[in-house]
Amino acid sequence: MPKQIDKKIWAEQLLAAFDGNIDAAIDALRQAESAVKQARKPKVMPTGPVLVSVENLSKKYKVGRQHVQALNSVSLDIHEGEFVAFTGPSGSGKSTLLQLIGGLDKPSEGTITVDGKNLTKLSDRHLSKFRNQTIGFVFQFFYLQPFLRLETNLEVPGMFARTKRRERTQTAAELADAVGLKDRLRHLPKELSGGQMQRAAIARALLNRPKLILADEPTGNLDSTNGTAIIDLFEQVRKDFGTTIIIVTHDPKVAAHADREIVLEDGEIKL
Amino acid sequence: MITIRDTLTLSLTKLRTRKIRLIITVVVSGLLFTALIAGSLIFRGAFASIKSFGEEGLGKRFVVTGYDTSASSENLFAKPEILNRAREIQKDLIARKKAEAKKLNIEYSEQSEPPVINEYDTPNGKEQSVNGETSAGKQAIAEYLQKNPPRSSEDFKKLAEPYGAFATYSSRYAPYTREGSMQVLKDGKESYDLANNNTKQQYGPPRGVDSFLGSWSLMSADLLQPFAIKGQSLKSGNDGSIPVIIPVSAAEELLNLKALPGTASSADKLARTKELRQKATDVRFNVCHRNAASSALISNAISTQQEIERNKKNKDYVKPDLIYGLPKEPCTAAPVIRDVRSADQKKRDAKQEQFDQMFGQQAPSQSAISFRIVGLTPDYEFQSAIGIGQIIGSTVGSSIGTGWFTPLEESVKNPIIASYFDTNNTIGSGQIPTQYAEFHTSAQAKKFIDEKSCQPNYMNPEVQKDPFKECREKEQLYSLNAFGSNSLALDAAKKQFSKFFTIAALVVAAIGSIIMMGTVGRMIADSRRETAVFRAIGAKRMDIAQIYILYTFIVSLLISGFAVLGGVIAALVAQDRYADGLTVQALVAYNAQDLSRTFSLFQLYVPDILLLVGLSLGVSLISISIPLLRNVRRNPIRDMRDDT
Ligand SMILES: Nc1ncnc2c1ncn2[C@@H]1O[C@H](COP(=O)(O)OP(=O)(O)OP(=O)(O)O)[C@@H](O)[C@H]1O
Ligand SMILES: [Mg+2]
């Protein structure tokens, strides 16, 4: 079936573009190639319920007397089980959007609803609980506690959740196994490689079985091999746990893995 | 709320950063608390020991001393009234002497009189003072005291009786100004080496028999009795010997025992104490008193001898007609060893003598007073460095103190001693007798002190001219203190210590808080990003606060642990170094019959320790509150961006 679609597109593109000029033909071929790639994506049009709903979201930062409009009236929906990539130039508001969705900050205007909760209305206590239970954060620089062994590092979200020790130790061990760090449990972060640390950080983010993983440039600090492995891991996670994943990235290859790429520019979604 | 165990896991990671800073904090704050703990252990130990020793000596009696501070601060010698009267008497005396000299046909010059008023420069200009050694000066002071009698034992009794005093006593120190001489006869021999005696260089107060005149007091026998060696009576013996309690060094000298070196072991010192108590008891010795004329003859004999010696080769030298020699027997008159005066000269000398005696000069006289050793006092320990040993030593010594003590009642039966300690003589020279009142209970004694003790006001500039005004208005005529180391004195010392301890503890806590705040503040600031990450993965503000509170608490535990360890070690070192020495000192000072008593410098006093523990917790709470409040309000994402 995909093959047929491919052929049809190819043919249409070629016929429409070709008028005897070889350069134009090559150009047309290129466009066709990209069109095919686009079409090849499993455009599983989101069918599950909406997990994240952002409406008219604006965020202004005040730096001294200057106002920075980091986000300007952004609206979007993300469905359960989606893998979404936020891309766009530096300073376009990607991280800001991610952090607002994660309940780390309050918007200047607009509403964010995640898993049925209106984040703008939650108290600090409830926001903390929300981050702990519903969100799993993954950072560019991993941010593991340098003096805790890997097993304990993985358990930290469980400590804040007051999960029973035995239960969380077991979950941590399982997750370590899942990310391929089973034999590194008793190591300190400094004894791990960058890729291992990021895998550990993902395991940590998964400890409380969150519905949504928010990752800000998770591959930004890794070489391409490790980067690919991390993306594969996210895929795996989505497959195994049905987790919704939003990542911020500059890497087109990474973005290409996502179901949907949302491009930001100057705080607005580029259509 | 996260569990304590998890909080601990996260707090412990904090101990692993900034280790040097943490160690410095723990050591510096720990040392401050160490000093306090050591102080508490040592002093509480000392107090407990003093209490135990206090069961002997005066310990179970409640005696209050009264000292007339207003009288002792008064300088009789500079009183215009006395100065004028002395001038008058002098003028009159000179007139009478002139007339008498004319009648007897002898030479007399006003110039030969010593000045009755001395004038000297002070920063405030010239000041005058009566010469208390002249007969006119003496008479003027005596007349003044006749008109303005000093407060007597009776006055003190009247003041103390309403508070329940059942007995009063008194004591007197030897006067500063003396006429003639008093000399302890060592091995029964008199020393004429006056020149040598006067120039003997000493560091610190005199020891041995030399300390006699400077530290001789008369004290009521009832007060003195506890300090007599067991079985010794404070009544004069059949042979008329006067009982005396003398310093250890004097007893050693009289018994020809070599003083123990300062480095002697405590066991040796204890053995010496035992030996002295045995050997010195009942030992008699004489003190030779020579009046001014008798002493003058001795000095005359010495100087003439020196003069002859110097002129041995001088053919023109003519020896004086009348020469006195040194006595063959101790404490006898200086004999005439050459008298080649003409009949005429002898007649003139006789007339001069008649003249002198007419105007109060006494004939030479000397006599020996017999004393009998009945007790020992510790020596004043002269130490150049101020240390724990000395501070505590002075507490121990406060029982009757050091010095020579004879029972007042027996002493004044001896006319020589009576005149020597004559109140005109002693008060004239500023030595006011000390009064004592004894009570049945410490509460009575305390009430008496609280209500009737004078605290002269030297601070208020208005009353500076008369600091005793308020005291007089409240009928507070004496400065009152607990005497001896009875429970009252001990309570006062304890209270004083507790006060000092509390203040010191608060100061230490304040310093500790500042140091801790710096360290904890630094730690929290260092951990901002981590805090932000923890917040991102679900920590509540309380969870974060909990981690830092526990961290601070652990640090304060480390400090307390360090302090307890250090304090215990310091106290044990002090115990090791000073306790044995203090034991010996206390055995003598309290005249303890039970020689197995020991002095300890180690006692755990729970309230002190609780205060310190409370303070160290307080310190940690104070030092964490401000940095924590500042931190917890921060926006986590800002901190996450800080160094990315
Ligand atoms: N805490 C803040 N205070 C002030 N300005 C901020 C703050 N956070 C973000 N901004 C500004 O908001 C804008 C959007 O920033 P944001 O971090 O979201 O960009 P980004 O798309 O993630 O960029 P990059 O790809 O470089 O990470 C920028 O202009 C930035 O300077
Ligand atoms: Mg960013």
For ligand 2, a single-atom ion, the residues with CB < 5 A are A 95
Residue B403 in domain: no
CA A265 to ligand 1 center in whole angstroms: 12
Domain span at residue B510 reads: 4-59+494-643
Q: Which residues pair with A269 in a beta bridge?
A: A264
Q: Where in chain A is the domain with CATH 3.40.50.300?
A: 50-269
Q: Residues with Cβ within 6 A of ligand 1?
A: A 61, 63, 68, 70, 90-96; B 638
| DSSP track, B470-537 | HHHHTT--BEEEE-TT-HHHHHHHHHHHHHHHHHHHHHHHHHHHHHHHHHHHHHHHHTHHHHHHHHHT
- Supply B586's token pair: 């206390």
Nearest to A160 among B16, B539, B644 (CB): B539
Quote the pLDDT of residue A93.
Answer: 93
Extract long-range pairs of A22-25: CB within 8 Å, 24+ residues apart: none
On average, the pLDDT of chain B sits at: 85
SS (H, E, C) chain A: CHHHHHHHHHHHHHHHHCCCCHHHHHHHHHHHHHHHHHHHCCCCCCCCCEEEEEEEEEEEEEECCEEEEEEEEEEEEEECCCEEEEECCCCCCHHHHHHHHCCCCCCCEEEEEECCEEHHHCCHHHHHHHHHHHEEEECCCCCCCCCCCHHHHHHHHHHHHCCCHHHHHHHHHHHHHHCCCHHHCCCCHHHCCHHHHHHHHHHHHHCCCCCEEEEECCCCCCCHHHHHHHHHHHHHHHHHHCCEEEEECCCHHHHHHCCEEEEEECCEEEC
So what's the ipTM on this one? 0.84
Residue B347 in domain: yes
Residues in chain B with CB shorter than 8 Å from the CB of A204 are 537
Ligand 1, atom 14: closest residue by C-alpha? A93
Total domain count, chain B: 2
Residues A236-257 have a mean pLDDT of: 92
Ligand 1, atom 17: closest residue by C-alpha? A95
Closest to A220 measured CA to CA, from A198, A188, A193: A198
Residue B166 in domain: no
Quote the pLDDT of residue B490.
Answer: 74
Residues A196-217 have a mean pLDDT of: 93
Residue B27 in domain: yes
Residues B507-532 have a mean pLDDT of: 88
Assign B442 a pLDDT band (cuts: 50, 70, 90).
confident
CB pairs under 8 A between A and B: 71
* Structure-model confidence comparison of residues B362 and A89, the more confident one: A89
Assign B384 a pLDDT band (cuts: 50, 70, 90).
very low
pLDDT at A191 > cutoff 90: yes
Torsion angles phi and psi, residue B540, rounded to 5: -85, 165
Q: Do A128 and B644 touch (CB under 8 A)?
A: no
Asked if B19 has any chain A CB less than 8 Å from its own CB, the reply is: no
Quote the pLDDT of residue B150.
Answer: 84
pLDDT at B132 > cutoff 90: no
Asked if B640 has any chain A CB less than 8 Å from its own CB, the reply is: yes
Residue B381 in domain: no
Q: Do B3 and A128 touch (CB under 8 A)?
A: no
Quote the pLDDT of residue B492.
Answer: 75
Quote the pLDDT of residue B392.
Answer: 59
- Supply B410's token pair: 């027996």
Ligand nearest to the CA of A263: 1
Ligand 1, atom 19: closest residue by C-alpha? A91
Quote the pLDDT of residue A13.
Answer: 65
On average, the pLDDT of chain A sits at: 87
pLDDT at A53 > cutoff 60: yes
pLDDT tens-place string over residues B280-321: 888 999 999 998 889 889 989 999 999 999 998 888 988 899
Quote the pLDDT of residue A1.
Answer: 40
The Cα–Cα gap between B26 and B562 comes to 8
Please say whether the beta carbons of B435 and B170 come within 8 A. yes
Residue B100 in domain: no
Q: What percent of chain A has pLDDT over 70?
A: 85
Residues A217-235 have a mean pLDDT of: 90
Asked if B223 has any chain A CB less than 8 Å from its own CB, the reply is: no
Domain boundary among B341, B358, B375: B358
Would you say the pTM of this structure is higher than 0.80?
Answer: no
pLDDT at B429 > cutoff 70: no
Q: What percent of chain B has pLDDT over 90?
A: 30
**What's the CATH number for A50-269?**
3.40.50.300
Q: Do A140 and B644 touch (CB under 8 A)?
A: yes
Nearest to B636 among A104, A125, A160 (CB): A104
Residue B556 in domain: yes
Q: Do A102 and B536 touch (CB under 8 A)?
A: yes
Q: Do B17 and A147 touch (CB under 8 A)?
A: yes
Ligand 1, atom 7: closest residue by C-alpha? A61
The Cα–Cα gap between B10 and A158 comes to 13
pLDDT tens-place string over residues B64-96: 999 888 777 777 888 889 999 999 999 999 999
Quote the pLDDT of residue A37.
Answer: 53
Residue B186 in domain: no
Nearest to B536 among A104, A141, A159 (CB): A104
Residues B201-220 have a mean pLDDT of: 80
pLDDT tens-place string over residues A147-187: 999 999 999 999 999 999 999 999 999 999 988 999 999 99
pLDDT tens-place string over residues B23-32: 998 999 899 9
pLDDT tens-place string over residues B235-289: 888 888 999 999 988 999 999 999 888 777 878 888 888 899 889 888 999 999 9
CA A92 to ligand 1 center in whole angstroms: 7
Quote the pLDDT of residue A5.
Answer: 55
The Cα–Cα gap between B637 and B628 comes to 18
Quote the pLDDT of residue B196.
Answer: 47
Q: Do A131 and B636 touch (CB under 8 A)?
A: no
Closest to B64 measured CA to CA, from B368, B423, B438: B438
pLDDT at A40 > cutoff 60: no
3-state secondary structure of B371: strand
